[in-house]
Amino acid sequence: MNITLWIIQGLAALAFVYSGWLKAFQYNKAEAAWGWVKDVPKGLVIFIGLAELVGAIALILPQALNIAPILTPIAATALAAVVLSGAVLHLTRKEYREIGVNIVFILLAALVAVGRFL
């Protein structure tokens, strides 16, 4: 079970690093890739990106270093909440195709949260 959780944590962290990096440091690429970025304040997009990057780090380091490992499932829960908010945004914009990606991200984060809280 532990190995499976580490694989899921690694996949989730990579996904959130990619998404967060684009939002936080490559705003123009994010704007070109995702239509919603144009309609949300730039500062909010950058904030979401930074939150995803910090969350990705917190998915790995606390558990790996055994320093406050409770932060890992807390980070996973927070990331799931961020992605759920994104799914709601996509619903309001009728961007149903984008919700599939949100569901995958939510599932990855939820699996880490549940697995590490237990």
Indicate the average pLDDT of the chain: 96
Kindly state whether residue 33 falls inside one of the protein's structural domains.
Answer: no
For 100, other C-beta atoms within 10 Å of its C-beta total 11
| Structural domain total, the chain | 1
pLDDT band at 54 (very low <50, low <70, confident <90, very high): very high
Q: Would you state the pLDDT for residue 104?
A: 95
**Is residue 94 in some structural domain?**
yes
In a domain, 88, yes or no: yes
Q: Which residue range(s) make up the domain with 92?
A: 2-21+50-117
Is 44 part of any domain?
no
The 3-state secondary structure of 7-60, one letter per residue:
HHHHHHHHHHHHHHHHHHHCHHHHHHHCHHHHHCCHHHHHHHHHHHHHHHHHHH
Mean pLDDT value across residues 1-17: 96
Residue 85 resides in a domain: yes
Residue 41 located in a structural domain: no
In a domain, 43, yes or no: no
